[in-house]
Amino acid sequence: MTTRIALVAAASQGLGRAAAAALASDGCSVAICSRRRDAIERAAADIAGATGRDIAPLVADLSRPGEPERVVRETVERFGGLDVLVTNTGGPRSATFDALTDEDWQQAFDSLLMSVVRLSRAAIPHMRARGGGRILHITSVAVKQPVAGLMLSNAVRAAVAGLSKTLAAELAKDRILVNSVAPGFTRTERVTELTRATAERERTSAEAVEQRIVADIPMRRLGEAAEFGNAVAFLASDRASYITGTTIQVDGGYIKGIF
C-alpha cells in the first residue's frame, strides 16, 4: 500500500498541528510548515514521536509570493508526491471596521486568501499526476455566521469558502476533492488570544467572556483541537470519497443556521 503524503500549513500549534497529528496517526507522511523554525521543528519531533511517522518541518511565510510554491516543491522532493493539502494560516488581528487600515486589509488578503490560492495552484498538478487527492481549507465558523470583532476574518475567509466551492466543481473530474473545514470555538492559543482581547475591550475578565461563549454552544464547552483534527483526517481519507464542495463545521452546534 502506498503511503499517502500530506502537507499541512501553519502547523506549529493549534488546529494545524492537530490536523497534522491526526493525518500522521492515519498513516500519512506529513510535511508541516510555520514561520518559526524552533516551533515547527518541535512540533515535528513531537508528532513523529507520538505516531512513528516521517514528519518534515519546513519554515515559510506563506503570505509572501513564492513561499507556498517552495513549500509544495520541497514536500514533493522529500516524499515523492502529494496527496493531501491542508491550507491554514494564523488568524488576522481582532478589530472593528473603523480600526482597520488598508495595510491590515492587504495583510489579511495575502495571508488568508492568496496563500490558499498559491498553495492550491502549486499542489494540483502533483495530485493530478497521482490520480487524485484532497484539498482541505481550514476556515472558521465565521464563513457561515460572522463573529463580532473579527471583521477581517469574517470578510476574507468567506472568499476562501467561495474559492473552495468553485474549485471543487472544476477538479471533480480529476478525482481531487475540495472541502472547507470550519472550526468553532476551540481550546487553542488563538481562541485564548481572542478571549483576552475581547475582555480588554469590554473591561471584563477572560473567564467571563469564555463563559458567555460556552453558553452559546449547545454542547456547553469549547472544542478540543484533536476533535477538529479527527474531522480533517476523515475528510482526507477514503471514507469521505463522495464528499466535495462543502463546508463542514466542527463547532459543537454553535452555528444556528440550517445550512
Give the pLDDT score at 159.
97
* CB atoms closer than 10 angstroms to residue 17: 26
CA distance 57 to 48: 11
Q: 193: domain range?
A: 187-222
- Structural domain count, the chain: 2
CA distance 203 to 211: 15
258 in a domain, yes or no? no
155 in a domain, yes or no? yes
Residues near 259 by beta carbon (within 8 Å), at least 6 away in sequence? 144
The predicted model gives 190-196 an average pLDDT of 83
Q: To the nearest 10°, report the CA torsion of 153, 73, 83, 251.
A: -20
In a 3-state reduction of DSSP, which class is residue 60?
coil
pLDDT digits (tens, 9 = 90+) for 206-252: 888 888 889 999 999 999 999 999 999 999 999 999 999 999 999 99
Amino acid letter at 37?
R
CA distance 82 to 12: 20
Give the pLDDT score at 206.
86
Let me know whether 60 and 79 are in one domain.
yes
> Which residue would you say has higher pLDDT here, 192 or 35?
35
Let me know whether 13 and 61 are in one domain.
yes
Let me know whether 209 and 244 are in one domain.
no
Let me know whether 218 and 230 are in one domain.
no
Task: Record the pTM.
Answer: 0.94
Let me know whether 234 and 196 are in one domain.
no
H helix or E strand, kind and range, residue 49: helix 37-51
259 in a domain, yes or no? no
pLDDT digits (tens, 9 = 90+) for 150-170: 899 999 999 999 999 999 999
Let me know whether 59 and 169 are in one domain.
yes
